[in-house]
Structure 1
């Protein structure tokens, strides 16, 4: 597992998800270094992320519905600043 991301965009992602989902666990991982020079690399070092989030808001929802909640919280960032986002979303008590 990578170290948690700490850049300005990663911090904004974490703040948005915290506000929208009240997560019991949240980790934002910056995967951008693995994609340096690839399509979508804007040179900022913050273009590709993985979010690992556990929230009661996901209880009873399927994977697609959970991803939609994450995408909704980050919609403007996905349209302008985030090139790729991997999502691992679970409800409390799930593996």
Structure 2
């Protein structure tokens, strides 16, 4: 499952459009039980298994992040937790896709 992290205070005006472009880039593969450093403007391909899969990530640059996923988190019973418990998303938004009407 693809997952991208975007730091909100980096002067990106259209986060959703930017995330769609990140999903088109080559993703860094992350295997089960692997730890990774979640970076601003990076996309990760989380390799899931049929059972339960756990990943551990840390964030060096503090701030408010938007996390974009390729699939609905509910499809995989995905939860993000920290030492104080489950992190609940603020204002989750569902997107149906990204179409390009311009060239890059």
User: TM (normalized to structure 1)?
Assistant: 0.28
Which structure shows the bigger proportion of residues in strand conformation?
Answer: 2
Query: Which structure: greater helix fraction?
Result: 1
TM-score, scaled to structure 2: 0.27
